[in-house]
Amino acid sequence: MPVTPLTPRDPEEIGGHRLTGRIGEGGQGQVYLGETADGDRVAIKLLHTGDPLREAAAARRVSPFCTARVLETGEQDGVPFVVSEYIDGPTLRAVVEEQGPRHGAGLYRLAVGTATALAAIHEAGVTHRDFKPANVLLGPDGPRVIDFGIARATDATLTATGSVLGSPSYMAPEQLAGDAVGPAADVFAWGATIAYAANGRPPYGQDTIPAVMHRIVTGEPDLGALPGQLRALVADCLAKDAARRPLSRDVLLRLLEHTEAPISAPDALALGRATAVAPDIADDRTTRWTTMRLPAPAGPRKRNRMLLACGGVAVTALVIATAFAIRESGSSSAKTLPLPSPAGAPTTTAPPSRIDTATQVEQAIAAKRTASFKAKGAMSQSDDQFNASGRLQYRPGASTDYDLTVHNPEGGESEDSPRRLTLKDNTAQFSDMQDEVYSVAPRTDYSGMDPHVYMAMETRWVSSPHNVLALLRSTRKLRHASDGGTVTYRGVTSAAALSRKPAVAPFYKNFGNSKTEFTIVLSNDHLPRRLDIVFTTGLDTGEHLRSVYSAEYTEWGRSGIIAP
């Protein structure tokens, strides 16, 4: 950030720190560059309004993941000040204004770094309240968020002339309405900031304040060229209803594509920080998040071998011919249409990649979160069976929560009576025994566990969305068919491969290296309708044993939240 000389009106020191220049001035106060007694540079904000010291003290608890740490708070001559880490770098706003919109790996790093910062801030119980491009610094070690925990509600109050003290282009509807402001408002501001970074303009414009406020409250955001999966995530964050926006931690986990096992807050923040500062992230994940994918035209592929045999000349000719064809067409309206299927027959097409399919399903589930379900399963040559029904609540990056009733129809007197219980994180609790809590954390030996608790764990392993996603990502050969109302995917993998997935490993380890066939039926909006799994285990005698498990899903987004 540019530093200007001190003026005669400026103090020489604040809180024992020598001032060396001016960094900037905002609605809250003047920001100075200072030096500690050890010669370290710090940013010192001398606040003109409010009494923010309690919030600033809370901000000192924020873990230093992609944030500028608050080092000290105090008062000088009755005026509060805050000392924070100095980040030597321009603001995101300045970079976009001078260099244009961000894209590719740089945009992805920015999204991950700022989401990591918000997750760290919210984890400490602090709300930023003024997240915007001017409060994101692009330092030598990646993006950093500044001024967290200091902005106050007075920054969003209307003056007598109808202007807003603050940054209305990045304010959530509830913030403009003067309602209580919490972490959800920061998530809205994050979405608006990422849209700005990708397009060079805020998603609700930046003309007159009344016009901007009207668009935020009643209009739809202009996401412009925001690409790939990032577009869908930002749209979720810009929901008018604060309750429909994802949590900042879920935003981070979606960006990191962490869905296979629970992860602690410190581990998630550390992973986000490492990703945000990585010097080179030219991988498939970056492409998925920052590239707008266009469907390939349908039609037969011809003469592949001849083309490859002709070497570089043929490849060059193909590229030139394609370029001319695109230029000559001048329009995206020309399309190749597939031949119609016979009446009443399902349409079979080349499936999208397994990663694309899993990602679409994951996004659809994350948007709905809750569902009603039925599940059952039986291990061959064993009394290990279960029938279950109830509700589930998907949590990205964490164990799925359940409110279910389960029993073993062949389990004898102690197991065949249905019992209702809830699974939350790594604990289970019976509805009729509220004073007892059972651990369902992964272990190597499940003998001695209450049979209904173990059946509930099996139900979670089989029917959890994490299992659906693990299966979709477990094979490179997904067969795909559509009947107009649903899409069916079939695949073959091994239990051994799935036993390396932490979220479902305990279940698949029971089947060794058994052949694992699965069928997943999705609605046209990518939500699971049915899951079937068949394990085939070969014996030395040449015989084969088959174990069958299934789950059915309904009422996505309508089954209700599972209370703690």
Q: How far apart are CA 236 and CA 256, in angstroms?
A: 16
Please name the residue that has the structure tokens 């995530």: 233
Please name the residue that has the structure tokens 């190597």: 444
**Domains (ranges, CATH) in the chain?**
13-85 (3.30.200.20), 92-152+166-277 (1.10.510.10), 355-554 (2.50.20)
Indicate the range of 207-221, 224-238, 287-301, 512-526 predicted with least confidence.
287-301
Yes or no: say if 133 and 206 are a contact pair by the CB < 8 Å rule: no
> Taking residues 198-210, what's their average pLDDT?
89
> Taking residues 206-235, what's their average pLDDT?
89
> Taking residues 388-407, what's their average pLDDT?
91
- Give the total residue count for the chain: 564
Whether pLDDT at 464 is above 90: yes
Q: What is the pTM of this model?
A: 0.50
Model confidence over 97-119: pLDDT tens digits? 999 998 888 898 899 989 988 88
Higher-pLDDT residue of 444 and 473 is 473
| DSSP conformation letters of 452-478 | HHHHHHHHHHHHSHHHHHHHHTS-S--
- Rounded to the nearest 10 degrees, what angle do helices 465-472 and 354-368 cross at? 170
Catalytic residue among 130, 147, 155, 384: 130
Whether pLDDT at 412 is above 50: yes
pLDDT band at residue 266 using 50, 70 and 90 as cut-offs: low
Query: How many degrees, rounded to 5, is the angle at CA 330 between CA 327 and CA 333?
Result: 130
Whether pLDDT at 125 is above 50: yes
Q: Percent helix, strand and coil across the chain, each rounded to 5? A: 35, 25, 45
Is 532 one of the annotated active-site residues of the chain?
no
Query: How many degrees, rounded to 5, is the angle at CA 233 between CA 227 and CA 234?
Result: 75
Tokens of 44: 């010192």
User: What rounded mean pLDDT belongs to the chain?
Assistant: 77
What SS3 class is residue 277? helix
Indicate the range of 37-51, 148-162, 308-322, 361-375 predicted with least confidence.
308-322
Long-range pairs of 150-154 with CB within 8 A, sequence gap ≥ 24: 150/28, 150/45, 150/47, 150/52, 150/55, 150/56, 150/59, 150/82, 151/28, 152/28, 152/49, 152/50, 152/52, 152/55, 153/129, 153/178, 153/181, 154/49, 154/50
pLDDT at position 262, please?
59
Nearest CA among 68, 122, 90 for reference residue 252: 122
Indicate the range of 309-313, 477-481, 520-524 predicted with least confidence.
309-313
Residue 67: φ, ψ to 5°: -125, 160
pLDDT at position 151, please?
39
> Taking residues 317-337, what's their average pLDDT?
32
Order the strands of the 438-439 sheet from edge to edge.
Answer: 438-439, 427-430, 419-424, 401-407, 385-393, 370-378, 544-554, 528-538, 515-523, 486-494, 479-482
Tokens of 8: 């005669």
Model confidence over 30-89: pLDDT tens digits? 889 999 888 889 988 887 655 555 556 666 667 666 677 778 888 888 888 888 888 888
DSSP state letter for 4: B
